[in-house]
């Protein structure tokens, strides 16, 4: 990768991936775009407002900037996607289709994240295999499975260098996620510092795979820089770092903040989505094919999250 375009750079992943890639490849070689202006991203490198559904504008930018790798991060997440499924399909699949077509026309590599949301209630729940039944029951999951298959099609039919990982819930301290089922695992840290109490929308006992954002960012680069001859899979690799329930993350925070309290007000939409997803993933293929290995666990992530949030002086 030399000249990189990030589509949807203003979101939870993109806002940190832009900074991360600029440190590796050089500020001027990472062009960030989003449908809304973003002053923070424009401060450290090139930024353009771009509607990912505007195929002509996307193609023009890729051509002008001589892009050789695209990160397509545009997606309405699982819970918000259930509130407006048709909009989620139009945006998620429209942005992917445009990215695939432009990648084909201008010979770009393309990374599009998938998710544990691509699995459904009939997928094996524990140590969910790389290749297994995938019948998601959310529009988000339908988009992710369709996106995986479309991306594999563009690789086999046109030779487009498409690659992808199935991200677990991502936890970060820079940009809040929006409309996700795993958002609680970010919100709980902020409430532990801000108010000392948290009302959890996910029921006790509900395991979900999770990952700290620094591991997710490194996974994006390691996969995109991996030797293509060693890739048996492409779209999309299971990867994970940890799996926990609300009471497990609560107990980890409480070790550090003994006064912290949590109660439950379960959100039925998020409960149904979480229940349809795996409890834990088997990420052997990512480890074997491109050397994936997480570096953060629940304890080290909790130390870092609380440390960074304290320094934000939230009121």
Write out the DSSP string of 20-46: HHHHHH-GGGEEEEESS--HHHHHHS-
Q: Identify which of residues 29 and 240 has a Cβ nearer to ligand VAH in the complex.
A: 240
For the CB of residue 287, give the shortest distance to ligand VAH in the complex, in Å: 20
Quote the least distance from Cβ 138 to ligand VAH, whole Å: 8
Residue, CB closest to ligand VAH: 180
Which residue blocks in 65-132 are alpha helix, DSSP H? 78-83, 85-106
Q: In what order do the strands lie in the sheet with 165-167?
A: 114-115, 165-167, 237-238
Reported as type and span, the H/E element at residue 198 is strand 197-200
How far apart are alpha carbons 121 and 139 in whole angstroms? 14
Distance in Å, CB of 39 to ligand VAH, minimum: 25
| Min dist. Cβ of residue 219 to ligand VAH (A) | 14
Structure tokens at 41: 């991203």
**E strand intervals along 40-176:** 47-49, 69-72, 109-111, 114-115, 162-163, 165-167, 169-171
**Please, which residue, 58 or 286, has the CB nearer to ligand VAH?**
286
Name residue 124's beta-bridge partners: none
* The one catalytic residue among 140, 184, 212, 250: 140
Residue 67 or 223 with smaller CB distance to ligand VAH: 223
| 87-107: burial string, b at 16+ Cβ within 10 Å, e else | ebbebbbbbbbbbbbbbbeee
User: Nearer to ligand VAH by C-beta: 31 or 273?
Assistant: 273
**Active-site residue 140, yes or no?**
yes
Residues in touch with ligand VAH (CB under 6 A): 77-78, 115-117, 140, 168-169, 177, 180-182
Which residues have a catalytic role annotated?
140
């Amino acid at each position: 990768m030399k000249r990189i375009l990030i589509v949807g750079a203003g979101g939870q992943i993109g806002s940190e991936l832009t900074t991360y890639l600029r440190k590796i490849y050089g500020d001027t070689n990472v062009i960030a775009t989003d449908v809304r202006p973003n002053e923070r991203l424009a401060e450290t490198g090139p930024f353009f407002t771009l509607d990912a559904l505007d195929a002509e504008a996307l193609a023009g930018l890729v051509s002008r900037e001589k892009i050789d790798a695209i990160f397509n991060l545009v997606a309405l997440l699982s819970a918000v996607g259930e509130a407006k499924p048709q909009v989620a399909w139009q945006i998620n699949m429209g942005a992917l289709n445009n990215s695939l077509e432009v990648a084909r026309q201008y010979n770009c590599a393309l990374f599009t994240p998938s998710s544990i949301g691509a699995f459904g209630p009939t997928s094996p729940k524990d140590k969910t295999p790389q290749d297994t039944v995938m019948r998601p029951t959310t529009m988000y999951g339908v988009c992710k499975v369709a996106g995986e298959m479309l991306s594999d099609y563009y690789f086999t039919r046109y030779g487009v260098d498409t690659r992808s990982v199935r991200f677990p819930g991502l936890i970060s301290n820079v940009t809040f996620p929006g409309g996700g089922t795993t958002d609680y695992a970010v919100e709980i840290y902020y409430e532990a510092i801000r108010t000392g109490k948290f009302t959890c929308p996910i029921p006790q006992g509900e395991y979900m795979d999770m990952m700290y954002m620094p591991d997710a960012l490194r996974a994006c680069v390691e996969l995109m820089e991996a030797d293509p001859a060693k890739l048996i899979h492409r779209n999309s690799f299971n990867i994970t770092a940890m799996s926990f329930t609300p009471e497990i993350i609560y107990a980890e925070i409480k070790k550090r903040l003994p006064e912290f309290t949590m109660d439950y007000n379960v959100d039925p939409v998020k409960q149904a989505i979480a229940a349809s997803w795996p409890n834990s993933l088997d990420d052997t293929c990512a480890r074997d094919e491109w050397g994936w290995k997480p570096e953060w666990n629940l304890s080290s992530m909790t130390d870092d999250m609380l440390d960074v949030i304290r320094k934000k002086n939230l009121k």
